[in-house]
């Protein structure tokens, strides 16, 4: 199976200073022309899929410097992602289209319906990234007074995913003969009403959409806690993982693949994509110069707000040159991302200023900066070393960072036989080497 290439396709690149860079798009807020162009660039480069992270709230209004400057995971002016992917489906023909939707503040019937529709519209290229919502403030937009506690979110997520998958199998593949001569639009013997009665959901079904072209759209998940990993092993086809070092990525990879057997699954049935920001240059010096240029676009106050946002900590500007403190896990924000940032800052003996600067290009994830050969070497090392099955690639500046990656690094990966040279199938499952599942209610 070749290395999987996914484009993390936010309207802005992955670097906090990105949108101010002279090469970045002008006016990136809710800009459809940009999104179409980015999807076409990624498809032209042979990417397996385009990925949209998402949330349901405006963040950082309590951090005025960062709020005004914004950062890549804030997204105050974007499109609802499934709506956007429906438009991108019409402007592309092969690339997979994956959108994030939360199980905490949505309903399984809505989600099953949206992604079944996207799968039909795109001819079998849809994927759903299941998250339980990272931003506590999103709760306030859905009639909650506070974020649902993590254990409850995950309990709901398991049931939610099971309902969505059941709804996608509502109809047999041949349930809609639409035969003018006989007058039979559909075959009443080929539909299954789910009649789900659970702790969180009561869903009668069936879904009001034919079975998706992929049978089941591809399910991604992003969550790295113990329960998050169990959810991925039980429910997901792909995991979007963030690890800053190869040994940590290898440990996560082995752990996730090792959980599959008890669900009757093979290691191949779950693909692990490692998040990475790639700054590729004609030469290593050029790549490092671009990285420095981007860092210079972020004032200290914005960088510090960003560190506080990512870790849940409350550092002040007067503390910038103090060593990063040794903190108890309970003081650090709950996500794997926050834990990784703190582990790195402590491990490398950083000051608070250095930690705030270190995360500007890539949050807690991985960063590959260098010439095409250097970047391809690192990707090959991670891939062959069982750190991942492929990469969720963010460019520091869009669209030029992605174009550079395609122009400089993709040919080198192809030369090494690590990625395929052209699309071989038509669906996202084809690209990922995932078979089309049989219908659980209408086995062949």
Ligand X SMILES: Cc1cc2nc3c(=O)[nH]c(=O)nc-3n(C[C@H](O)[C@H](O)[C@H](O)COP(=O)(O)O)c2cc1C
Binding site for ligand X (CB under 6 A): 53-55, 100, 102, 131-135, 222-225, 228, 240, 242, 275, 335-336
Q: Length of the chain in residues, anyone?
A: 444
- The β-bridge partners of 394 are 277
Q: Closest approach of Cβ 254 to ligand X, in Å?
A: 18
- The nearer residue to ligand X, 79 or 171, going by C-beta atoms, is 79
Whose tokens are 């992270």? That residue is: 53
- Rounded to whole angstroms, the Cα distance separating 399 from 42 reads 10
- Rounded to whole angstroms, the Cα distance separating 376 from 366 reads 14
- The nearer residue to ligand X, 138 or 169, going by C-beta atoms, is 138
CA distances from 6 to 31, 70, 281, 437 (A): 21, 24, 20, 22
Q: Taken in order 244, 370, 306, 399, is the CA torsion positive or negative?
A: negative
Q: Determine if residue 215 is left, alpha or beta; phi over 0 gives left, psi from -120 to 50 gives alpha, anything else beta.
A: left
Radius of gyration of the chain (CA): 22
Q: Tell whether 389 is in a known binding site.
A: no
- Rounded to whole angstroms, the Cα distance separating 372 from 421 reads 17
Q: Tell whether 154 is in a known binding site.
A: yes
Q: Closest approach of Cβ 223 to ligand X, in Å?
A: 3
Q: Closest approach of Cβ 234 to ligand X, in Å?
A: 14
Number of helices (H), then strands (E), belonging to the chain: the values are 15, 11
- The nearer residue to ligand X, 81 or 205, going by C-beta atoms, is 81
DSSP state of 384: H
Q: Closest approach of Cβ 220 to ligand X, in Å?
A: 9
Q: Is the peptide bond before 319 cis (omega within 30 degrees of 0)?
A: no
- Rounded to whole angstroms, the Cα distance separating 40 from 230 reads 35
- The nearer residue to ligand X, 70 or 134, going by C-beta atoms, is 134
User: In 3D, which of 97, 131, 102, 133 has the Cα closest to residue 117?
Assistant: 97
- The nearer residue to ligand X, 54 or 412, going by C-beta atoms, is 54
- Rounded to whole angstroms, the Cα distance separating 81 from 128 reads 10
Q: Which residue is nearest to ligand X (CB)?
A: 228
- Rounded to whole angstroms, the Cα distance separating 47 from 438 reads 27
Q: Tell whether 92 is in a known binding site.
A: no
- The nearer residue to ligand X, 152 or 174, going by C-beta atoms, is 152
**H helical segments located in 122-258:** 150-168, 226-235, 246-258
- The nearer residue to ligand X, 131 or 175, going by C-beta atoms, is 131
CB 221 within 8 A of CB 232: yes
Q: Closest approach of Cβ 391 to ligand X, in Å?
A: 12
- Rounded to whole angstroms, the Cα distance separating 131 from 55 reads 9
- The nearer residue to ligand X, 313 or 408, going by C-beta atoms, is 313
Q: Closest approach of Cβ 239 to ligand X, in Å?
A: 8
- The nearer residue to ligand X, 54 or 374, going by C-beta atoms, is 54
Q: Is 332 exposed, middle or buried (0-12, 13-18, 19+ CB in 10 A)?
A: middle
- The β-bridge partners of 4 are 390
Q: Tell whether 225 is in a known binding site.
A: yes
Q: Closest approach of Cβ 55 to ligand X, in Å?
A: 5
Residues placed in the known binding site: 54, 100, 154, 225
Residues placed in the known binding site for FMN: 54, 100, 154, 225
């Amino acid at each position: 199976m070749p290395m999987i290439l996914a484009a993390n396709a936010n309207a802005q690149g992955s670097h906090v200073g990105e949108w101010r860079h002279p090469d970045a798009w002008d006016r990136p807020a809710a800009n459809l022309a940009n999104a179409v162009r980015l999807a076409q660039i990624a498809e032209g480069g042979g990417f397996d899929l385009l990925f949209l992270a998402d949330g349901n709230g405006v963040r950082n209004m309590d951090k005025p410097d960062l709020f005004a400057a914004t950062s890549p995971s804030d997204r105050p002016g974007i499109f609802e992602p499934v709506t956007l992917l429906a438009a991108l489906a019409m402007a592309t023909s092969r690339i997979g289209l994956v959108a994030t939707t939360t199980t905490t503040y949505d309903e399984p019937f809505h989600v099953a319906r949206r992604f079944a529709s996207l799968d039909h519209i795109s001819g079998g290229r849809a994927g759903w990234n299941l998250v339980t919502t990272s931003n506590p403030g999103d709760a306030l937009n859905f009639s909650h007074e506070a974020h649902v506690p993590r254990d409850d979110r995950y309990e709901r997520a398991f049931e939610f995913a099971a309902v969505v998958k059941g709804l996608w199998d509502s109809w047999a593949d041949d349930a809609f003969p639409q035969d003018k001569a006989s007058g039979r639009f559909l075959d009443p013997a080929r539909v299954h009403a789910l009649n789900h009665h659970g702790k969180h959901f009561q869903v009668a079904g069936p879904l009001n959409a034919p079975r998706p072209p992929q049978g089941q759209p591809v399910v991604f998940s992003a969550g790295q806690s113990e329960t998050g990993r169990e959810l991925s092993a039980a429910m997901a086809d792909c995991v979007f993982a963030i690890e800053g070092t190869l040994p940590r990525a290898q440990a996560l990879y082995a752990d996730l693949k090792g959980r599959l057997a008890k669900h009757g699954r093979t290691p191949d049935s779950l693909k692990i994509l490692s998040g990475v920001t790639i700054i590729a240059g004609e030469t290593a010096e050029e790549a490092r110069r671009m990285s420095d240029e981007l860092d210079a676009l972020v004032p200290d106050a914005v960088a510090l707000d960003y560190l506080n946002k990512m870790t849940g900590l409350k550092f002040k500007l007067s503390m910038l040159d103090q060593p990063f403190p040794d903190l108890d896990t309970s003081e650090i924000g709950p996500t794997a991302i926050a834990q990784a940032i703190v582990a790195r800052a402590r491990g490398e003996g950083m000051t608070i200023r250095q930690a705030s600067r270190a995360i500007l290009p890539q949050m807690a994830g991985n960063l590959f900066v260098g010439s095409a050969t250097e970047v391809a070497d690192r990707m090959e090392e991670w891939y062959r070393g069982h750190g991942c099955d492929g990469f969720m690639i963010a460019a520091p500046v869009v669209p030029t960072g992605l174009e550079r990656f395609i122009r400089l690094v993709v040919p080198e990966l192809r030369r090494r036989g690590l990625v395929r040279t052209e699309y071989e199938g038509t669906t996202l499952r084809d690209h990922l080497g995932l078979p089309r599942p049989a219908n659980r209610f209408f086995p062949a």
